Chain A
Amino acid sequence: QKEVEQDPGPLSVPEGAIVSLNCTYSNSAFQYFMWYRQYSRKGPELLMYTYSSGNKEDGRFTAQVDKSSKYISLFIRDSQPSDSATYLCAMRNSGGYQKVTFGIGTKLQVIP
């Protein structure tokens, strides 16, 4: 079993829909949780960053962490065609030398 599980999709939604992307993990020591967005043939870029549990909102994007369930989510409101990309969850333990573990990525397509 992988440390981080993520449905690869693809997920296809109409423009304006609310999108929910999720990851589960098995390592209870993970403290830092990140979402990266990767456009086709580009490098991943950081979208959201959360330390420990709770919610974080940035414009149309909301990240949630539920450590009791070992489950993290990214919500995209009013989705746009420009949101079409692969979304990777990532997480790591606390401590400066800890490696980052990535989910496989979910490919999202927002149809105009």
Chain B
Amino acid sequence: NAGVTQTPKFQVLKTGQSMTLQCAQDMNHEYMSWYRQDPGMGLRLIHYSVGAGITDQGEVPNGYNVSRSTTEDFPLRLLSAAPSQTSVYFCASRSISQGQGDGANVLTFGAGSRLTVL
């Protein structure tokens, strides 16, 4: 059981380049999300999805696109990278159930993707 897998772990881009951060989970979680983490800012939600074909914006969506064609995958696209997008990106997923049991509904995070935009 791999959990949440993110690739690549590290990436350096030049301003204006595009790239896709990959996220895959094998827990059959309906909910998937992307966060960025910056010093002094904490984790901020970029985009999220509650199922295949359904996505919505989070707190800081500008400059990022997402799609969800399968339950397992939720890629994050940077169409024209900017230095302000230098950050550590985390993908996280969870089950959407109405239960209150331990471990239910809590986010499981990937190991992160460290992106530098020059």
B50 touches which one: A8, A34, A97, A104 (CB < 8 A)?
Answer: A97
Contact A88 B42 (CB under 8 A): yes
In angstroms, Cα B107 to Cα A82, docked, is 23
Contact B31 A97 (CB under 8 A): yes
B90 CB to nearest chain A CB (Å): 6
A-side interface residues, number (CB < 8 Å)? 22
A43 touches which one: B42, B103, B105, B112 (CB < 8 A)?
Answer: B112
Contact B98 A49 (CB under 8 A): no
- Which A residue's beta carbon lies closest to that of B101? A51
Contact A97 B96 (CB under 8 A): yes
How many pairs of A and B residues are in contact by the CB < 8 Å rule?
Answer: 55
- Which B residue's beta carbon lies closest to that of A52? B100
Contact B109 A100 (CB under 8 A): no
Chain B CB within 8 A of A66 CB: no
Chain A CB within 8 A of B74 CB: no
Contact A104 B40 (CB under 8 A): yes
- A-side contacts of B96, CB under 8 Å: 96-97
Contact B112 A42 (CB under 8 A): yes
Contact B109 A45 (CB under 8 A): yes
- Which B residue's beta carbon lies closest to that of A51? B100
Point out residues on B near A: beta carbons under 8 Å: 4, 30-31, 33, 40-43, 45, 48, 50, 58, 90, 96-98, 100, 102-103, 105-112, 114
Point out residues on A near B: beta carbons under 8 Å: 8, 32, 34, 36, 41-46, 49, 51, 88, 90, 96-97, 99-100, 102-105
